[in-house]
Amino acid sequence: MMTRDDALSLDATDPLAPLREQFTLPPGVLYLDGNSLGVLPKATAERLQQVVTQEWGTGLIRSWNSVGWMDLPQRVGDKIARLVGAGPGELVVADSTSVNLFKVLSAALSAVAADAPQRRVMLSERSNFPTDLYIAESLARQHGCELVLAEAEELPGLLDERTAVMMLTHVNYRTGRMHDMAALTAAAHAAGALTVWDLAHSAGAVPVDLKRADADYAVGCGYKYLNGGPGAPAFVWVHPRHVERFWQPLAGWIGHAAPFEFTPGYRPAAGIARYLCGTPAVLSLAALECGVDAVLAAEPLSGGRGAMTALREKSLALTRLFAGRVAATCPQLSLVSPSDDARRGSQVCLAHPEIGYPVIQALIARGVIGDFRSPDILRFGFTPLYLRFVDAWDAAEHLREVLATGEWQAPEFSRRHAVT
Amino acid sequence: MMTRDDALSLDATDPLAPLREQFTLPPGVLYLDGNSLGVLPKATAERLQQVVTQEWGTGLIRSWNSVGWMDLPQRVGDKIARLVGAGPGELVVADSTSVNLFKVLSAALSAVAADAPQRRVMLSERSNFPTDLYIAESLARQHGCELVLAEAEELPGLLDERTAVMMLTHVNYRTGRMHDMAALTAAAHAAGALTVWDLAHSAGAVPVDLKRADADYAVGCGYKYLNGGPGAPAFVWVHPRHVERFWQPLAGWIGHAAPFEFTPGYRPAAGIARYLCGTPAVLSLAALECGVDAVLAAEPLSGGRGAMTALREKSLALTRLFAGRVAATCPQLSLVSPSDDARRGSQVCLAHPEIGYPVIQALIARGVIGDFRSPDILRFGFTPLYLRFVDAWDAAEHLREVLATGEWQAPEFSRRHAVT
């Protein structure tokens, strides 16, 4: 059984330990919610001041050319591409995850409608993040398709000659369970279906290799493990074999082949730029770039293994440590996230049939920030960029104390907030 | 003929003159491009630092509740509503103008499909801003409708029993010509059609009264006269009589009736909130709020007439002054924007068949920033919030000098930039 001193020893020899210095961590806070909102990189505030006071305030409209505002979706996209196994020029940052899902699902359904119109089923996981299911539901209605939801284990068996698209979130937001992207993509392709992957809980959290997995379409979130700030823009990737076959219906001017010719007919830009729509959100893009840079900073510390491989190793060690301590000290809680490393994302999820919500609130009152996901999940995200082994140990100890003392029973911890 | 001293006298007695102090104007710059990107309010940098370092950096995920991040789309929306004649709770800030146009056009087409399926024509103006036409083209394809483009004068005569929706930009981006929103809306309604208004060059620039005009749907831009910064989020309004009849296809989780219940089926929120989609872009929303506040600051200086009435009076005086000086001193240029006050937005547009582009570049080199719009338009936006009468006089004088000296002929002024 690991002691607190063991955890401190792991921190002392952790090659990634210096990465924590890139972040502003409020004193007295143990932050296990980077899977919901990543923490603030120190570089962000200064960079935003530069963008606001110099690029906008002084440069004004000239900055679209002079400092490359127009290229930000591609520039930040190329950096994210390195974290998810995509090539340069294949991925852009734009809009929200929901809007990008609408784009890629629309394009995928158009591709199938052209090639195999008898395929009318979109397949997804019942416990997928709701916005993914809402967007799919909307497009199913529009395209006259059926949205079939199933448990993870049932998915391979449901792929057949009626399946148009299988849309999955790589790491489940509630359970932390990670799909085998390569195997499921191969199964989908074998059945003649396309795949759409939501990397919201993967990008910057676990190694992803979109090209090697031969995925078709992907989207992902900028404000979780990429540390882009609240409501940061999202990203969208399309495999080069599909990207120019169709364009997506949000055919705004920035996705046009020549936006500044101001011509009335839509001609989609070459490549992934056709997945852009409105004017780039410069302030948000600048903030996101700082967050992505903080992840890429793991590269030189990775001993040649690559940023995500090194981060993954630490992430698994952190989640093992926390889950192990909880299993030993909190028998009331059951482990929902997989104990198998290969199937677990960067979070530990616990369940209690009744007291999950007040326990999380009591932890937050102690400065240990996780979150609650209805109806019964206590969710703890472990971001190896800024969390130490001793943090994982201490968090488990706080959880044990909250349960042992009964402090979760205080009435204020049962009061519900709008955002939980 | 007005002299420079006359212009200085107007500034000395201008009740709105103090508003200029709210903005950061770079020295040596005469900025006539607020119709493309508004200037930086002084409050914005400090507010963004607060959002970044305190709300995000220290508050982290807790700020969604504790400082009301989740309400920002409505809070900033209610402020914009006061500038465009919409009621509280009727307008939200979200996404880009293009994406919001997609939402309202989709909803309008759904409404017509339910009530009058024989109406299959979307009517718009040939010189509408391209992104509006691209989005309409995309939806026309999807809905099996025809997109009919016409000159402004032809529009009333084209409204008939086949017209589903008339979609117009209130103030034309190239010519500065302003439609009579109330008259055209009445004509559309008389023909049984719905109206969609793009207020990109209107919100914060000219008085708009959506409710009094009985408009159906509207969208608008945050980074022009609302000073929200490059790529600021846009806004969307739907008349209360339509808002709950349909929902738009970008059915993301933030538009759901209960986003944090994480239920798999989409139930749209009550009212305009169903026009939200992804997670609110907090940093951008905070910056936009500062820009909108800078417009609302005209209210107490308006002598009880209202912010937009007072700003409009000054805007018209500025554009009259500039256009008058140019007419007197630059006979090579023709006036494209309407000379009739009632039909002109807050910009002056001039045309020259050959030398428009290098003349604008030569002006920019002098620090007089207007812009060029293909193929022949020199465009000058006049923002009464931060421009003085003497600025309008000096800008005309610079233009006269650029033409008189022939300095526009320098080779560097013919080199094209990506963004012009």
Tens digits of per-residue pLDDT, B101-159? 999 999 999 999 999 999 999 999 999 999 999 999 999 999 999 999 999 999 999 99
Residues whose CB is less than 8 angstroms from the CB of residue B418 and which lie 6 or more positions away in sequence, other chains included: A64, A65, A70, A260
pLDDT, residue A418, reads 59
Which among B23, B31, B102, B129 is annotated as catalytic? B129
- What is the helix (H) or strand (E) element at residue A123, kind and residue range? strand A121-125
Where residue A419 falls among pLDDT bands split at 50, 70, 90?
A: low
CB contact under 8 A, A251 and B135: yes
Q: Residue range A391-407: average pLDDT?
A: 98
Checking if the pLDDT of B327 tops 90, the result is: yes
Which among A20, A174, A224, A274 is annotated as catalytic? A224
DSSP structural state of residue A211: T
Residues of chain A with Cβ-Cβ distance to B39 below 8 Å are 57, 60
| Contact in structure between A264 and B130 (CB atoms under 8 Å) | yes
Residues of chain A with Cβ-Cβ distance to B124 below 8 Å are none
| Contact in structure between B399 and B330 (CB atoms under 8 Å) | yes
pLDDT, residue A415, reads 85
pLDDT tens profile A114-152: 999 999 999 999 999 999 999 999 999 999 999 999 999
CA–CA gap between residue A275 and residue A258 (Å, rounded): 14
Q: Would you state the structure tokens that stand for residue B266, as one six-digit string? A: 């989409």
Backbone phi and psi for residue B371, each to the nearest 5 degrees, phi listed first: -145, 170
- Paired with B169 in beta bridges are B198
Q: Which of A98, A230, A280 minimises the CB distance to B282?
A: A230
The torsion of the CA quartet B101, B227, A277, B69, rounded to 10 degrees, works out to: -80
pLDDT, residue B59, reads 96
Considering only alpha carbons, which residue of chain A is nearest residue B32? Answer: A61
pLDDT tens profile A264-293: 899 999 999 999 999 999 999 999 999 999
CA–CA gap between residue A268 and residue A260 (Å, rounded): 13
| Contact in structure between B233 and B92 (CB atoms under 8 Å) | no
Q: Give yes or no: B198 in active site.
A: yes
Considering only alpha carbons, which residue of chain A is nearest residue B61? Answer: A37
State how far the alpha carbon of B237 is from the alpha carbons of A274, B80, B139, B222, in Å. Answer: 27, 10, 19, 14
The shortest C-alpha distance from A304 to chain B (Å) reads 32
Of A16, A22, A14, residue with least CA distance to A294: A22
Where residue B287 falls among pLDDT bands split at 50, 70, 90?
A: very high
Residues of chain A with Cβ-Cβ distance to B236 below 8 Å are none
Checking if the pLDDT of B61 tops 60, the result is: yes
pLDDT tens profile B215-230: 999 999 999 999 999 9
pLDDT, residue B123, reads 98
Checking if the pLDDT of A420 tops 70, the result is: no
Mutation pick from B24, B284, B347 vs chain A, by most beta carbons of A within 10 Å, is B284
Mutation pick from B33, B63, B106, B253 vs chain A, by most beta carbons of A within 10 Å, is B253
Distance, CA of A274 to chain centre: 22
CB contact under 8 A, B284 and A285: no
Checking if the pLDDT of B324 tops 80, the result is: yes
Q: Would you state the structure tokens that stand for residue B310, as one six-digit string? A: 């007072």
CB contact under 8 A, A419 and B36: no
State how far the alpha carbon of B194 is from the alpha carbons of A249, B128, B214, in Å. Answer: 22, 18, 10
**Token pair 């006050």 is at which residue?**
B341
Q: Give yes or no: A246 in active site.
A: no
- What is the helix (H) or strand (E) element at residue B401, kind and residue range? helix B389-405
- What is the helix (H) or strand (E) element at residue B277, kind and residue range? none
Spell out the domain ranges in chain A. 4-40+306-414, 68-295
- Paired with B359 in beta bridges are none
CB contact under 8 A, A126 and B96: no
Q: Which of A64, A135, A174 minimises the CB distance to B251?
A: A135
CA–CA gap between residue B133 and residue B125 (Å, rounded): 9
Q: Residue range B72-85: average pLDDT?
A: 98
Residues of chain B with Cβ-Cβ distance to A284 below 8 Å are 231, 281, 283-284
Q: Give yes or no: A198 in active site.
A: yes
- Paired with B369 in beta bridges are B31
Q: Residue range B363-388: average pLDDT?
A: 96
Q: Residue range B350-363: average pLDDT?
A: 97
Where residue B418 falls among pLDDT bands split at 50, 70, 90?
A: low
Q: Give yes or no: B379 in active site.
A: yes
Residue A190: how many CB atoms within 10 A of its CB? 10
ipTM higher than threshold 0.90: yes
The angle, 0 to 180 degrees and rounded to 10, between the axes of the packed helices B42-49 and A42-49 is: 180
Write out the CATH class of domain B4-40+306-414: alpha beta
How many residue contacts between A and B have a Cβ separation below 8 Å?
276
The torsion of the CA quartet B355, B35, B349, A265, rounded to 10 degrees, works out to: 70
Considering only alpha carbons, which residue of chain B is nearest residue A258? Answer: B418
CB contact under 8 A, B280 and A420: no
CA–CA gap between residue A133 and residue A152 (Å, rounded): 15
Q: Which of B60, B95, B266 minimises the CB distance to A95?
A: B95
pLDDT tens profile A160-202: 999 999 999 999 999 999 999 999 999 999 999 999 999 999 9
- What is the helix (H) or strand (E) element at residue B373, kind and residue range? strand B371-373
Of B105, B234, B90, residue with least CA distance to B168: B105
**Annotation: CATH topology of B68-295:** Aspartate Aminotransferase; domain 2 (3.40.640)
Residue B251: how many CB atoms within 10 A of its CB? 25
pTM of full prediction above 0.90: yes
CB contact under 8 A, B369 and A233: no
CB contact under 8 A, A251 and B374: no
The angle, 0 to 180 degrees and rounded to 10, between the axes of the packed helices A356-365 and A389-405 is: 120
A242: three-class secondary structure by DSSP: helix
DSSP structural state of residue B171: B
Residues whose CB is less than 8 angstroms from the CB of residue B2 and which lie 6 or more positions away in sequence, other chains included: B321, B324, B325, B393
- What's the mean pLDDT when you consider all of chain A? 96
Of A251, A297, A239, A291, residue with least CA distance to A275: A251
CB contact under 8 A, B280 and A134: no
pLDDT tens profile A205-228: 999 999 999 999 999 999 999 999
Q: Which of B36, B130, B263 minimises the CB distance to A262?
A: B130
Q: Would you state the structure tokens that stand for residue A52, as one six-digit string? A: 């606001």
CB contact under 8 A, A135 and B252: yes
pLDDT, residue B262, reads 87
State how far the alpha carbon of A373 is from the alpha carbons of A127, A143, B161, B279, in Å. Answer: 12, 32, 51, 17
Considering only alpha carbons, which residue of chain B is nearest residue A127? Answer: B264
Where residue A236 falls among pLDDT bands split at 50, 70, 90?
A: very high
| Contact in structure between A156 and A168 (CB atoms under 8 Å) | no
Residue B383: how many CB atoms within 10 A of its CB? 28
Where residue A416 falls among pLDDT bands split at 50, 70, 90?
A: confident
pLDDT, residue B368, reads 98
CA–CA gap between residue B183 and residue B161 (Å, rounded): 18
Shared fold status for A4-40+306-414 and A68-295: no
pLDDT, residue B261, reads 87
Residues of chain B with Cβ-Cβ distance to A45 below 8 Å are 49, 52-53, 57
Where residue B374 falls among pLDDT bands split at 50, 70, 90?
A: confident
Considering only alpha carbons, which residue of chain A is nearest residue B143? Answer: A142
pLDDT tens profile B155-210: 999 999 999 999 999 999 999 999 999 999 999 999 999 999 999 999 999 999 99
CA–CA gap between residue B43 and residue B55 (Å, rounded): 16
Of B156, B150, B160, residue with least CA distance to B116: B160
Q: Which of B44, B60, B97 minimises the CB distance to A369?
A: B60
CB contact under 8 A, B98 and A250: yes
CA–CA gap between residue A148 and residue A136 (Å, rounded): 10
Q: Residue range B354-373: average pLDDT?
A: 96
pLDDT, residue A1, reads 77
CA–CA gap between residue B44 and residue A128 (Å, rounded): 38
Residues of chain A with Cβ-Cβ distance to B229 below 8 Å are 52, 56, 282-283
The torsion of the CA quartet A331, A337, A338, A343, rounded to 10 degrees, works out to: -160
Residue-level length of chain A: 420
